Amino acid sequence: MSDSSYDVIVIGSGPGGYVCAIRAAQLGLKTACVERRATLGGTCLNIGCIPSKALLQASEKYEEAQHDLAAFGVKVGKVDLDLKAMMGHKDGVVKANTAGVEFLFKKNKIDWLKGSARIAAADTVEVTGDGGAKSHKTKAIVIASGSDVAPLAGVEIDEKKIVSSTGALDLPKVPKKLVVIGGGYIGLEMGSVWQRLGAEVTVVEFLDRILPGMDGEVSKHMQRILKKQGMTFKLGTKVTGAKPNAKGVALTLEPAKGGSAETVDADVVLLSIGRVPHIEGLGLADVGVAIDNRGRIVTDGHYATNVAGIYAIGDVIVGPMLAHKAEEEGVAVAELLAGQRGHVNYDAIPGVVYTWPEVAQVGRTEEQLKEDGVAYKAGKFPLTANGRARAMNATDGFVKILADAKTDKVLGVHILSAEAGTMIAEAALAMEFGASAEDIARTCHAHPTLNEAVKEAALAVDGRPLHI
Ligand code: FAD
Ligand code: NAI
């Protein structure tokens, strides 16, 4: 016997799931969302995007007060860290955001089914919560169960001495030495937080570069800036083991290509070598949902799995593991289920690393264009020549625009700058509209803004920047 029936049941309330549920409800579908966490919002709002940005923002203020305000003629006395208050700020931001999603569920009359979901059949979701198991009938199921930390053999996470991003968001004190395994998004963001708060940070990266998905020139430049900030890098290096001891953790490292091992001590180790799709307990094998060789749910262009009535979106399917990508897919699948034409343009999904300065990109990198054999022109403009950046004492970085050599269509935009994450929106919009570099160059940009550097880079594609 079923306890209730719906048009759509969404499994998971992360940015993919909760946005999908809201859009489905807006379109008149009777919608429920299953979430087993005590609060809504998934990884992103509880232990991901939001708390990490709260700490990045707060630690940036600490760094500024300590080192940067004097140059603006602002004298401050002794600057002290109140880590408990900083964590309180982060927890407050998380609470406000997760409560916000709960409010939106109520407003849109979405049922929150509290507990763990298992797909019993293509039209039945079983939810096991405090009150036992309940069965719910539905016309469609959208799996948005997200992702989890990728493990590494020999490095056992205890969330105290050897932490994942979750533990790194909640350390009770500033470690003297923090070793970060993986020089990607989490490693550089959380490494920056703790370095600003006083930790000596060493990043151990398997490849011979950090931020492997980003444009090579940007990632090289970023590494130089982070090094200047005090971060140490061990590139082309693998961790073969991490053993907790009385003092902290002893790590053994080896060159990635093989060679002699070395030992490094740390107070805390952060494991951040990527994330893996989370499909455990969903019962996918029983209903026959196909999984690829990397554990991701296989979907077609309309987010449909191989089992009629079951769909999947977000981190659990192919593509960048980013909150806004999951959100776009959530909207698209809800619209498709309501008979509309939901669609996501995967060529214009921005990626941002919220370090100082920030790294942002949309579209293809120079390396990708070369590999694809695309003839392109590049226009670059340094922040040192931007008036607003000078006023902000934030002249590190540049904007680079890559455009098709023949048609001038923008193929990729790469920004290393303060507020690059905000600046990139202009580039994403331009790409969404199929703009040429000339279109950006001829668009009036307010003065003085950092975004004028985007216009100048567009002018530089045609060899005519004005301010350099
Ligand atoms: P998730 O957010 O992972 O949500 C899935 C939810 O499903 C979870 O709440 C889980 O409890 C629930 N669930 C799973 N299985 C079941 C089940 N069987 N029954 C009931 N509930 C279930 N991305 C950005 O774009 N910008 C950022 O700044 C950013 N920062 C990040 C920082 C960190 C430290 C981390 C870890 C990630 C960050 N990300 C960021 C990535 C972002 O969090 C993910 O891409 C995004 O959360 C994916 O959304 P999702 O809806 O697919 O899944
Ligand atoms: P990541 O994929 O960004 O970076 C992992 C890094 O670890 C890579 O540089 C990789 O080469 C390296 N690596 C892999 N195996 C290794 C090994 N054995 N030893 C040493 N290095 C190794 O993954 P990360 O940082 O864990 O983040 C997971 C995902 O979460 C990101 O890919 C991103 O999708 C999302 N995220 C997004 C953020 C944002 O949008 N600002 C912030 C944080 C996370």
Interval 52-81: pLDDT, tens: 999 999 999 999 999 999 999 999 999 999
Give the largest Cα separation in the chain, rounded: 73
- Report CA(330)–ligand 1 centroid distance (Å): 13
Residues 175-188 as b or e (16 or more Cβ within 10 Å = b): bebbbbbbbbbbbb
- Report CA(361)–ligand 1 centroid distance (Å): 21
The whole-angstrom separation of Cα 140 and Cα 8 is 5
| Residue (of 171, 172, 216, 209) closest to 190 by Cα position | 171
Provide the H-helix boundaries in 260-318.
284-287
The whole-angstrom separation of Cα 196 and Cα 284 is 44
Are 141 and 152 in contact by the 8 Å Cβ rule? The answer is no
From the CA of 360, the nearest ligand is: 2
Interval 166-216: pLDDT, tens: 999 999 999 999 999 999 999 999 999 999 999 999 999 999 999 999 999
Does residue 1 surpass a pLDDT of 80? no
Question: Per-residue pLDDT averaged across 383-393, rounded?
Answer: 98
Protein residue with least CA distance to atom 45, ligand 1: 322
From the CB of residue 214, how many other CB atoms can be counted at a distance below 10 Å? 23
Which residues are CB-neighbours of 85 under 8 A, at least 6 positions away?
none
Protein residue with least CA distance to atom 9, ligand 1: 42
Protein residue with least CA distance to atom 6, ligand 1: 12
- Report CA(446)–ligand 2 centroid distance (Å): 36
Ligand 1 site residues (CB inside 6 A) read 11-17, 34-37, 42-44, 48-49, 52-53, 116-117, 144-147, 165, 186, 278, 281-282, 314-315, 321-324, 326
The whole-angstrom separation of Cα 332 and Cα 314 is 11
Between helix 185-196 and helix 49-63 the angle, nearest 10°, is 40
From the CA of 20, the nearest ligand is: 1
Does residue 82 surpass a pLDDT of 80? yes
From the CA of 189, the nearest ligand is: 2
Which tokens belong to 236? 């082309």
Percent of the chain with pLDDT over 70: 99
- pLDDT score at 4: 83
Does residue 374 surpass a pLDDT of 80? yes
Protein residue with least CA distance to atom 24, ligand 2: 274
Residues 361-379 as b or e (16 or more Cβ within 10 Å = b): bbbbbbeebeeeeeebbbb
The whole-angstrom separation of Cα 168 and Cα 270 is 7
- Report CA(387)–ligand 2 centroid distance (Å): 34
Does ligand 2 come within 6 angstroms of the Cβ of 206?
A: yes
Which tokens belong to 297? 């749910």
Given the CA of residue 315, which atom of ligand 2 is nearest to it?
A: 34
- Report CA(44)–ligand 1 centroid distance (Å): 5
- Report CA(15)–ligand 1 centroid distance (Å): 7
- pLDDT score at 216: 98
292's enclosing H/E stretch is none
Are 314 and 11 in contact by the 8 Å Cβ rule? The answer is no
254 DSSP assignment = E
Q: How confident is the model at residue 390 (pLDDT cuts 50, 70, 90)?
A: very high
Does residue 329 surpass a pLDDT of 60? yes
Protein residue with least CA distance to atom 3, ligand 2: 184
The upper half-sphere exposure of residue 176, i.e. CA atoms within 13 Å in the direction of its Cβ, equals 6
Residue type at 379? Answer: G
> Alpha carbon 290 to chain centroid distance?
26
Q: For a ligand 2 pocket test, name from 186, 207, 324, 349 the mutation site with the most ligand atoms within 8 angstroms of its C-beta.
A: 186
Provide the H-helix boundaries in 292-402.
323-337, 366-371, 387-391
At residue 369's C-alpha, the angle toward residues 363 and 375, to 5°, is: 120
Catalytic residue selected from 67, 302, 343, 447: 447
| Residue (of 297, 278, 349, 291) closest to 320 by Cα position | 349
The whole-angstrom separation of Cα 236 and Cα 366 is 22
Interval 395-419: pLDDT, tens: 999 999 999 999 999 999 999 999 9
Question: Per-residue pLDDT averaged across 228-236, rounded?
Answer: 98
Are 233 and 203 in contact by the 8 Å Cβ rule? The answer is yes
- Report CA(42)–ligand 1 centroid distance (Å): 5
Question: Per-residue pLDDT averaged across 249-265, rounded?
Answer: 96
Tell me how far apart the terminal alpha carbons of the chain are, to the nearest angstrom: 73
Protein residue with least CA distance to atom 26, ligand 2: 274
Residue type at 444? Answer: C
Look-up of token digits 């955001």: 97
The answer to whether 447 is a known catalytic residue is yes
From the CA of 165, the nearest ligand is: 1
Does residue 2 surpass a pLDDT of 90? no
